[in-house]
Structures are given as structure tokens and as C-alpha cells.
Structure 1
Amino acid sequence: MNREFLKFWVGQSVSMLGNQFTLLALPIAAAVTLHANAAQMGLLGAMRFGPGILFGLPAGVWLDRNRRKPILVASQAVSAIALATIPAAALLHHLTIGQLYAVAFVAGAAATAQVIAVPAIVPALAGRDRLVQANTRIQSSFTVSNLVGPGLAGAAVQAFTAPLAIAADAASFVVGAIMTAWTGMNEVLPPPSGRRTFADAVEGQVWMWRQPLVRAITLTILINNAGGNVIFAVYVLYFVTRVGITPAQLGLIFAVVGASALLGAQLARPLLARERLGLVMVGGASLVVLGQTGALVAAYSPPRAAFPILVAFGALLGSGLMIYNINQQAIRQAVTPDRLLGRTQSGVFVLVAVASVVGSLLGGEIGQSVSLRAALAVGVALNLISVVPTIFSQLRKLRTVPAAVLEPSTSSSMPI
């Protein structure tokens, strides 16, 4: 890997580690510090993903028309500022659920640009012939952050309270922005299309749904995120306030997910070496779904058994996520023309955001009007369905990552 990719990778890795603090601390701040109910927890989740629905498609077009690096740097700076207001308000004893909603929305808007920009930047930095290696490094960073971050976050929450722990995430975004700004890259800008933003956005979405591999991956991710957010809307509320799982134990559960992902990467290598990518994709998706059923099993088990059950099923979940995500990202990047990378990534992101908002609101509503266990059951049912598009598609028949799609460039390359 070249030096510029390594700088970029380091910056994103630090941000990933910081994200673990907010992932754990934000719902705990709502449920424990502010005593939010199930409906409010669902709304908090919806506020995180709502900006993706509003800004995802325009952001994809914008990122395909402009240099992506400055946009990524600016979005990381916005995230840092927004998150820093939570510990500041807590220190002044003015933290409210309304502020958590507002910060979740602003941080979600910034995350929209980040999630779309990072995969679109990777091919230019690493080269299309090294996509699997580059995505392995990025996914490995995500795995390590999942391994180390939750434990650190859980300890920080117990020692300093959840709102103050979020300061670590704000600091990580500062580091990420500095490292990204320091990265040199040649970004190729396509000639102006002469079309409106809506027409360019539609082109990307039409291509995404017509490409069979991208379509199958998108459907699996879409359904799984809907089910996962039905579960997560009530997960902290149920297991922390009802079962008695401590923040430190919750951090350990998330850490096991990260640790097992390293094992998942190793398990997939022999099959990939034998050109069995299709089997890897099906196996990865199945392990994810199996791991996600752990929340329901734990909910119907004796309270003292909940923690070891969540740990065991978390190990399956982490292995499956690593196996599936490395390869689905490489497949999507390889078969997508460079000029459409931002728009297709934004298309996936917007659909996932819709599914996540619906899942969060649905989980909160079921948890409030029926029961928290009922919400967990509905989420698991959706997760089980999510593996179907991967199994019954051309993904199952793949032997290796498809050849990269290259289009002749008519524009100039400028270092920034």
C-alpha cells in the first residue's frame, strides 16, 4: 500500500475507534442519564439515520461532481463540533433529550458525507487492483476498534458518565480531519454532465438496481439494517435497565463482536484462495443472521444467563460481519464505474437510512405499546429474511471478485 493511502487509513482508524464511544454512550446517556422511554429511544435512533434520507442522494451527486477530500475533512470537523456540545452541556447540567436529538441529527448529516466519500476515495488512493487489500485494512481497523473501543468506552462511561465519554469521539474526528487533509491524492473530476442534480442521482440509482450483484447485496444490507435497528432501539433499554447488564459488560459484548471478526477473516481465506467467493458471501450473511438471534435468546433466558449468551452469539455476529463486509464492498467497488461510485454508494446509504429509521421507530413503538421482547422478536424475524437475496442471486455463483469496470477518462487529474 502506498504512503498516501496509509495516512488516510490511519486517520479513519482513529475516527472508527472514537465512534465506539458514541455508539455505546449515546443510548446510555438517553436511557440512564435522562431516563428516556422506548419511544424516545426509537426516535433517537431515527434522528441518527434521518439525514441519510434527506441528504444521501444529493450528497452522492455532489461528491461525484466535486473533489471528495475537502468535503470529507469538513464533515469530520462538523461531527467533532456537534459531539463536543454533549459533554459541555453535561458539565453545565443543561443536557436534555432534545439536545441529544439535535446532535444525533447533525452528526448523522455529517456521517452521510463520510460514509459515501470514504469508499469512493479508496479506489483513487489504493488503485482498483488493490481493492480487496485496501478494504481488508479498513475493515480490520473497524474490527480492532470494535475490539478495543467498547471496553474503553464502557470503562469511560462507568468512570465519567456517558455524556462525558462522548468527548473521546469528538477528539477522534479532529484527528481524522487532520490526517485526511494531510493525505495527497489525485482526484479525477468528470466533465460537467449538463444535467440537474436529480437526473444525475436517478442515473446512479437506476444503474444500482440493474446491476444484479449490487442489487442482491443492497437488498441483504437493507433488510438486515431494518431488523438490526428494530432490535437496537430497545437493546440498551432492555438489557441495561431491565436485565441489569452493566455498561462495562455491554462494552465487553461489543468487544467480543470485534475480536471474533478477526477470526472470521482467517476462516474466509482458505475458501477465497480456492475461488469460492460465493460460498463465503452466503456463509458470512448466514453467520450474521445467526448471531443477531442472540438478543432474542438472551431475552427469554434467566437474567444471569443473558450476558454469556450475548457474548457467545456476538462472536458469531462479528465473524459474519467481517466475512461479508470485506467482500461485498470489494464487489461493489469493482463492478461500479468510477464516475458512479459516489451516487451508487449514496443510493445504498439512503436506502439503509430509510430502513434504519423505520426499524428504529418500529422498534420503539412495539417496545412502548406491546413489549420490549416483542420488538426483539420482530427484529430477529427481519434479520432471518435478509439472507435470502444473497442466497438466491448470482452472488452465490461467484468464484472471485469480478474484473474492475474501467471507463476512459476525458478529464484531467489534479493533486490536492
Structure 2
Amino acid sequence: MRTVGRVRGRGPAGSLWRHRDFMLLWSGHTVSLFGSQISWIALPMVAVAGLHATTFEVAVLGAMSTLPALVVSLPAGVLADRHRRRRLMIACDAGSALVMASVPIAAVAGRVTMAQLYAVTLVVGALGVVFGTAAGSLTPVLLGGDRLTDANAKMNTARGLAEMAGPSVGGFLVGLVGAARAVAADALSYAVSAAALASMRLREPKPERTSHRGRFLGEIAEGLRFVLAQPVLRVLALSGAVSAVLLRGISSMWLLYVVRELGWSPWAAGLVYGLSLVGGVAGSMVAGRVTARLGMGRVIVLGALLSAPFELVTPLVPPGLAGQWTVGLVFTFLTAAGMVQMTAAQTARQLLCPPGMLGRMNGSTQFMQAGLLPLGPLLAGALGAWIGLRPALIILGGATLLWPLLLSLSPVRTLDVR
């Protein structure tokens, strides 16, 4: 079998649950993710219930949350490579805690405004992009290569649990103490994450100087060139961008279709969505074992191949309970397969990248995917208006097969990264 990019990791063996620094990183990350899910509910509720915001104002608030990934990803990569990543993450957490805390403080004084909510969303989103870019670059330094798949799987498990339970917790808190006070829980979660990071014993090496050091745009360009020149990283980035656009387009029309065309109740749609999140958690829990057994390249290709075709299920099922159960079970499976695939792809990118380029590699990959994301809903909306919801979903679902096709025709399928 042809081997692409074999990299041998370092670091002692043993369960990561007994690795002190990783557990501090994981626990702080988990608490912060739950806090962010609370704010995902609470901040719009501050606008709607507290400020009586218009539909347009609420839409703008939602749009603000998508801008930082596009605008900040590339500079964030440079910052993550120029500075010690743990310190950068602590600074981002501390800044996010202070900015989030401004909402309940202003609410007590009766001075919350839409302008403040816009600013909070933008600033916390930008700090979150920097934090995420640095975090994806810190794990290889902390653990070496041998346990990266396990570490990424555990971090993704935390994300899945937060996405599954966080909105319910957020709704409960909003009902209990009010939307503005519920935001304080997110501010506290950032403080907990910062404290956990500060308690780590890791001593990061001083960042390497590059030939472009001191020229910010030069360092950004160096990161983009590296991703586009490396065969596996290029395919992972571009195929990931294609799938992200198509899946965002499908998700933008999915609820409208199942409620309007299939006659589902909002409760039934929410239950089916919840089942898919369970699949994501299950997938992240077995990702390490599956990757170890099948190999990283095969998992990346098979995960995409087992996920993409099932996006066609929703427009093909009949109305009624049988259709709901079918979509729920299929979504649970495809989300599990997608989570295993995502974990393997994330690990491959980290192992194929030099330590001094990890930040810019992560930032460049995120930029290429985030930059195209708005095309998904626009494409879906145009198709839905032209030919109807069901044909549009069938076309978009069929187009997701481009994702595994691109991967299977690339060096990824023979990838052996250790």
C-alpha cells in the first residue's frame, strides 16, 4: 500500500482521563462549550424579550455570529504561531468572560442596547476563533502524535454533549432567572476555562521564527500556500468546504420542508434533531478505536461515503410517524459516521503539519470553509424558489456525494499517518 505522509508521534502511553493537563484542558473546554450553548439561547432572548427587537434586528444579530470565522481566521492563525498558545487561549477566555459579563451588568442598570449585543457577539466570536485556532494547535504540543485521535475524539464528545444538552439548560436558566442573567453563566464558564488552562503544568517551547516573521500578510500567505501545496491538506480543506456549503444549504431548508411538506410538528422535528446529536456523541466515543482498526485514510473516505448518501433520505420519506422514525434513525447513523470522519481528518491535519505552522494551517482551513458557507443557504433558497423544496433537497443531497468522491480520488485514501 502506498503511504502518504507518515509521521511518528511522541508522548507516553496511558489513558487520557489520567493525564492531568489534558483533563484540565478538556474540563475547561467542556464547561465553556456548555456556557456558549446557554448564550446561544439567552442572547437572542435578551433582544426579543428585553429590547423587543424587530425581525431584522434579530437576523442581523445572527449574522454577526458568522462574520468572525471569515474575517478573523487567517490573522488568528498567525497569532497562534507567533505566541505561546496556552497564554493566548487564557487571554481569549478572560476577554470573553469580561465582554459577556457586560450584558447582565448593563441589564441591572437598565442600559442594554442592540448595539451592545451586536458588539458582544462580534468580539466574543472573534476571540472564540482565536481560541479555537490556538486550541487545535496546542493539543499536538501537549500530547504528541500517538494519542491525538483519542484526544480529538474526547474533545468532540464534549462538543456533542454540549450541543445536545446545552440548549435545554439554557432554556431552563432563561425561564428561571431571565435572559440577561442567564448570560452570566456563560461569562462564568469562560472564567472557569481560563482558570483550568492557567493550572496546567505544560511548558510550551518558544515559538519558532519564520522567514516572514514581522510581516503579518507574509505569514498569512505562507500558511495558505502550505495548505494548498500539501496534497492531503489541500483535498481535506477543499472537500470539507464543498460538504460544508451543501450541508449548510440542506440544513437551512430542512425544518421548513419537514414542517410544511411532511406535516411534522415542531416537537417531532426537535426530537429527530436530538437523535442525530446522540449519534454524534456515540461517533466521537468510538472514533479512536475505529481509526486504529481501519486506518486513518480509510476512515476519512468511508466516513464521508457512509454519511453523504443518507442526506437524500428526508425528501424521499413519506409523511407520518414511519417517516419520522426513518429520518431519526438514519440521521443518528450518518451523524455518528460523520463525527468519526471529522475526528480522523482533524488528526491527519495536525500530524501532517509542522509545529510552527499549526496555527496558520488551522486558520487557513477554517477560512476556506467559512468563506464559502454563506453560499449554502443562498443556493438552497434559489433552488427552492425555482423548483420547489423537495427537488432542491434531492439535488443538494445528491451533490454531497462530491465529498466522498473527491476524497476517494485523492491521496487521502492511502493515507497512513502514525
- State the TM bucket, normalised to the shorter chain: 0.7 to 0.9
Match of 2:360 in 1: 343
Shift in Å, 1:203: 1.4
Match of 1:359 among 376, 384, 387: 376
Residue-by-residue CA offset, 1:102-146 (whole Å, 9 max, x unaligned): 443223211210120111011111223321222222122223323
Query: Are residues 1:57 and 2:78 paired?
Result: no
Shift in Å, 1:238: 7.1
Specify every segment of 5 or more residues in structure 1 that has no aligned partner in the other structure, as ranges: 404-416
Query: Are residues 1:320 and 2:337 paired?
Result: yes
TM-score (norm. length: structure 2): 0.77
Query: Are residues 1:245 and 2:266 paired?
Result: yes
The residue type paired with residue 217 of structure 1 is L
Shift in Å, 1:174: 2.2
Q: 1:243 to 1:267 in 2, by over 3 A?
A: same
Shift in Å, 1:98: 6.0
CA distance in 2, matches of 1:162, 1:359: 31
Match of 1:128 among 142, 145, 154: 145
Deviates more, 1:106-115 or 1:158-167: 158-167
Q: Confirm or deny: 8 A CA contact 1:75 1:113 kept in the other structure.
A: yes
What is the percent sequence identity of the aligned residues?
Answer: 29
Residue-by-residue CA offset, 1:228-285 (whole Å, 9 max, x unaligned): 3334445667778996415x973x5454233223433566566544444333222212
Q: 1:390 to 1:117 in 2, by over 3 A?
A: same
CA distance in 1, matches of 2:68, 2:176: 32
Q: Confirm or deny: 8 A CA contact 1:124 1:185 kept in the other structure.
A: no
CA distance in 2, matches of 1:373, 1:95: 42
Match of 1:75 in 2: 92
Match of 2:243 among 217, 220, 224: 224
The residue type paired with residue 21 of structure 2 is E
Please list, as runs of the form range in 1=range in 2, the aligned pairs for 1:100-249 lying within 5 A after superposition: 101-153=118-170, 155-156=172-173, 166-193=183-210, 195=212, 196-233=215-252, 244-246=265-267
Q: 1:281 to 1:154 in 2, by over 3 A?
A: farther
Match of 1:407 in 2: none
Larger Rg: 2
CA distance in 1, matches of 2:287, 2:380: 33
Q: 1:312 to 1:204 in 2, by over 3 A?
A: same
CA distance in 1, matches of 2:171, 2:69: 28
CA distance in 1, matches of 2:401, 2:364: 23
Please list, as runs of the form range in 1=range in 2, the aligned pairs for 1:276-355 lying within 5 A after superposition: 276-290=295-309, 292-293=311-312, 296=315, 302=319, 308=325, 311-355=328-372
Shift in Å, 1:383: 3.6
3-state DSSP class of the match of 1:112? Answer: helix
Q: Confirm or deny: 8 A CA contact 1:281 1:395 kept in the other structure.
A: yes
Shift in Å, 1:27: 6.8
Q: Confirm or deny: 8 A CA contact 1:116 1:342 kept in the other structure.
A: yes
Q: RMSD between aligned alpha carbons? A: 4.0
Deviates more, 1:363-372 or 1:46-55: 363-372
Residue-by-residue CA offset, 1:167-199 (whole Å, 9 max, x unaligned): 443332222122122223222223433531111
The residue type paired with residue 200 of structure 2 is T
TM-score (norm. length: structure 1): 0.78
Match of 2:21 in 1: 4
The residue type paired with residue 218 of structure 2 is A
Q: Confirm or deny: 8 A CA contact 2:65 2:122 kept in the other structure.
A: yes
Q: How many residue pairs end up in the alignment? A: 395
